[in-house]
Chain A
Amino acid sequence: MIQLNALAGGLFLLTAFGVLAVRQVIGCLRLFVIQSILLAASACILGYELASIHLLVVAGITLGVKSILIPWLLFRVLSHEIHARREITQVLNIPTSLLVAAAITIFAYFIAQPLLEISSAAFSRINLPIGMAGLLLGAYAITVRREALPQVLGILTMENGAFFAGVSIAPNLPLIAELAAAFDVLIIALVMGLLARKIQKQVGTTLVGKMATLKEE
């Protein structure tokens, strides 16, 4: 069981790299779906091992909201043109940003080390550093990507990372908090999707890099 959880963790990390490096927007979205499924799988395994009904419900909510509802929402709200587009300009080129991402992951392991000494659960040895790496990689994705939708996915990846770490530290978090968080993320995704759609209608592009200068009519 602990091996399966570790496997989910390893693949979770890989998808976080993918959200950072995949050029095509639709590929990025697919990776986010896979990542959410992995998060749900990890929560499921933990719920089974720790005999916590909360975690199973969390897994269900994650599966429903993050791997079905949010991608569907983003897919519907934004026009097809955005999804099919390839991102040409990134702040850093892809090999460089992958190397930085690798450095960030190692850093995440080091900052998680002192925290691991406090909590003794076997699962948090895997989930805490990987979740933290997901958090940092999501933040990094927001800074380097120039397209609006991958930036939104970066925020959602951060959220996924926080959950991935959270399920191992606090398995008995009140359900209402989880529900509120899931609902929150849904609203965030909706608002950002609508905003990006509006921006695209007005400016004709969602390349964030081009919006640095203000325009006056």
Chain B
Amino acid sequence: MIQKIIFNILQVLVVMLLSPLVKGVIDCLKENIQSKKGPSIFQPYRDIWKLFHKDEVVSEQSSWIFRFTPFICFTTPMFVALLIPVLTDYPLFFAFMADMLGGGFILALGGFFAALAAVDTGNPYGPMGASRTRMVGFLAEPVFMIVFFTVSFVAGSTIPYIVQKVWVTPIANFFEPSHVLVMLAFLMLILAESGRIPVDNPSGHFELAMIDESKGLEYSGRGAALMKWGGCMKFFVLLCIFLNVLVTPWGLAGSGSLWEVLLAVPLVLVKMFFFIIVLVIIESSLAKLRLYRITEFMGAAFVTSLAAVVIQLLGI
């Protein structure tokens, strides 16, 4: 019991400490692939450290939402990290507190407050970015729902630990068409939710084209650091759900020994590294879609997930 609580807290610590590293690796690889040198992979840590030591400027016109939001954006991914398999393949202490839909709602709460805070300051770019994020969000919502419906039909549960077990044993389940289609749809969903290239350019600094980045423009000092760190953690958590539950449900600690749990950390990082390579290839070979083409992208994701559910329910 005590052990499970400790492991659970360990998971949150892993998410907190390693998430900037993942972002650093992505940035570095992306520059490398464009034959540039690229920043150090520890650059996000330095950025966060620097921002924590700077003064914070908050507009007089803004309300409590603006001051409160960085904390929500920072804490919501931590709560999700309690629920999902980051290191172990057996349920930990808080695992049954909420299922995948619950985790999705917790993440959506962070997004909701970020959008409110962007509108709050009256900066012209904030509301624009917020409304665009909401547009992508509501297009992503049906895909999200149908992916989880498919998953729950297959596994008979939406608790991520149980879902993951269903796809490992027997191995033939891994090649089920609904599983492959759900993976594809979820990949598109991750690209949309974390503002990656076919939907949004994460490294773009042109305010009119921004979707995700413009929400945090008004933050400075500690608030900016928390928003940035929270964004990294959200991405890390999404990757954990995608990789540990759907794509590669192997390499997690199976027993209660501490060494095995610690060994799972580098394994998870290796899995993420391979996924990051795929992500960087996608980002470097595609162009950003025009805003009105995003509906087509999400429509394709929706139809993919719908095909998964149709094949699952009516087919086999």
Contact = CB atoms under 8 A, between A and B. Distances in A.
B176 A7 contact: yes
A6 interface: yes
Interface residues of A, number: 24
Contacts of A10: 177-178, 180-181, 307-308, 311
Interface residues of B, number: 24
B5 interface: no
Interface string A1-18: 001101101110110010
A39 to B, nearest CB: 15
**Chain B residues touching A, majority SS:** helix
Interface in A81-130: 94-95, 98-99, 101-102, 105-106, 109, 125-126, 129-130
Interface stretch (B40-48, B107-115, B293-301): B293-301
A17 B307 contact: yes
A106 B314 contact: yes
A1 B43 CA distance: 48
B172 interface: yes
B307 A3 contact: no
A4 B176 CA distance: 7
A136 to B, nearest CB: 14
Interface in A1-42: 3-4, 6-7, 9-11, 13-14, 17, 21
Nearest to A110: B314
Interface string A122-147: 00011001100000000000000000
Contact of B177 (A11, A17, A98): A11
3 closest A-B pairs by CB:
A10-B177, A95-B299, A109-B314
Interface of A: 3-4, 6-7, 9-11, 13-14, 17, 21, 94-95, 98-99, 101-102, 105-106, 109, 125-126, 129-130
9 contacts: A10-B177, A11-B177, A21-B300, A102-B306, A102-B310, A105-B306, A105-B310, A106-B310, A129-B315
Given A14-B307, A17-B303, A21-B296, 10 more contacts: A6-B176, A6-B315, A7-B176, A9-B315, A10-B311, A14-B181, A98-B300, A98-B302, A105-B306, A105-B310
